[in-house]
């Protein structure tokens, strides 16, 4: 059971209802995380705005989903790991890359470099080494894309922490969360 309240779209305040309706149109449903965030429309709006802004960037939806899987695994967020398996598949992430995301692995070497960099950002809390930054640049990422990788990490750390604190009830098919060393 969730430790934070949730809002049902039918009983939401007008501001929350507008946001939840937007989510429903985009996803074909209203995930529990969004219902919990809607208790504060400012939180849900902030999440949707940041996510929407990153969607307009240079990183593909598939790579953003792989970063989300990585962050969920690194932060042991069962809710996000399950959600991003579904959302990743919708974005075109194949089964091998869905499984590899937790370990910063991808079939595309360039994507794998981005994931290793994202993992370094998470593990060092942003204090990446010169070598880690050079490696992602050597894979062909410019500063704008590197900024977007950092943004994707930040967005997903937020949702990981939100769902961990809330203990949001998982409303996606269960996926075994790997234990990372």
- Yes or no: say if 63 and 111 are a contact pair by the CB < 8 Å rule: yes
Distance CA 14, CA 17 (A): 5
pLDDT given for residue 180 in this prediction: 76
- If asked whether residues 102 and 48 sit together in one domain, one would say no
- If asked whether residues 21 and 95 sit together in one domain, one would say no
- If asked whether residues 68 and 134 sit together in one domain, one would say yes
- Rounded to 5 degrees, what are φ and ψ at 30? -125, 95
Assess if residue 2 is contained within a domain: no
- If asked whether residues 21 and 93 sit together in one domain, one would say no
- If asked whether residues 42 and 126 sit together in one domain, one would say no
pLDDT surpassing 70 at residue 181: no
Whole-structure pTM value: 0.95
Assess if residue 27 is contained within a domain: yes
**Domain span including residue 49:** 9-55
Assess if residue 174 is contained within a domain: no
- Yes or no: say if 88 and 175 are a contact pair by the CB < 8 Å rule: no
Helix, strand, or coil (residue 49): helix
pLDDT given for residue 178 in this prediction: 85
Q: Tell me how many domains the chain contains.
A: 2
Q: pLDDT by residue (tens digit) across 77-113?
A: 999 999 999 999 999 999 999 999 999 999 999 999 9
């Amino acid at each position: 059971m969730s430790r934070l309240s949730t809002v049902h779209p039918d009983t939401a305040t007008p501001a929350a209802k507008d946001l939840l309706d937007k989510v429903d149109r985009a996803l074909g449903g209203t995930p529990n995380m969004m219902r919990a965030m809607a208790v504060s429309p400012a939180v849900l709006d902030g999440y949707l705005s940041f996510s929407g802004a990153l969607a307009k960037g240079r990183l593909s939806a598939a790579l953003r989903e792989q970063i989300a899987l990585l962050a969920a695994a690194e932060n042991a967020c069962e809710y996000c790991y399950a959600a991003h398996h579904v959302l990743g598949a919708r974005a075109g992430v194949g089964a091998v890359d869905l499984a590899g995301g937790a370990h910063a692995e991808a079939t595309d070497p360039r994507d794998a470099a981005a994931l290793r960099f994202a993992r370094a950002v998470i593990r060092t809390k942003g204090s990446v080494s010169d070598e880690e930054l050079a490696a992602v640049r050597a894979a062909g990422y410019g500063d704008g894309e590197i900024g977007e990788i950092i943004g994707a990490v930040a967005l997903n750390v937020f949702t990981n922490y939100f769902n961990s604190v809330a203990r949001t009830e998982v409303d996606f098919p269960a996926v075994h969360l790997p234990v990372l060393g």
